[in-house]
Structure 1
């Protein structure tokens, strides 16, 4: 008789306002001051905005991470760029590849929409570990807190 061990199933999908129950605890890990109703309304507002995109990472059906993106295009840019507004992986589920998969999907979304670059700013008490993570993902420090990555 053999026992089978199943690996957790990681699924990355588009986020929606119905994810608020799972996203509120993640936002609190970022020290983001919000309430259930405020976050739900903001998520609903972003769902229909073409310049914004959110992804969630589910492990066995439970949201364990998220990333929020915003694409910018100004008069002096040949191509748009995409900012990572926020990214968080539940502190109990870090170092399991969730962040890497979220980044990969964020890059794909940005490339499909024609972005030439991904960029973000790191801050807060975990900024050194966050900076390290992004550098492993191919980002380069371009300022005190700013990191960017050129997209092919």
Structure 2
């Protein structure tokens, strides 16, 4: 990934991981334009060609496979949580694709969500799962006794069922 920084010719250039039939890589280039500029397909492609020449310092011939204008925006919901409903990620906010922290935000969400899931598993779930596995798969006297006690409490104590 390359970032071009500047007043006029800023851009993000990324290899897509896809290749043309001749083996050359396909690249994705995202940059900003004045929304007031004309938007016919030919005009957009023409400006993209000129921008790419400047961004790559005339690196050579290239083929533009697709060029599409994108309306830059930054939006966020008025509330992230209301009652039992929680908005996160793209449902909560939408950022421009260049430096708007969309991908970075997604990575951070995944990291935090992954850790929260792990904690949710380890704290209440893993001990219960391990105990249940031991109860149903062990024939040791102390495990069988614990199993009977567990199921007796489960069947008689409503509070125990609501951990």
Q: TM-score category by the smaller chain?
A: under 0.3
Q: Which structure's relative contact order is higher, taking Cα pairs within 8 Å and 6+ residues apart?
A: 1
Higher strand share: 1
TM-score by length of 1: 0.26
TM-score by length of 2: 0.25
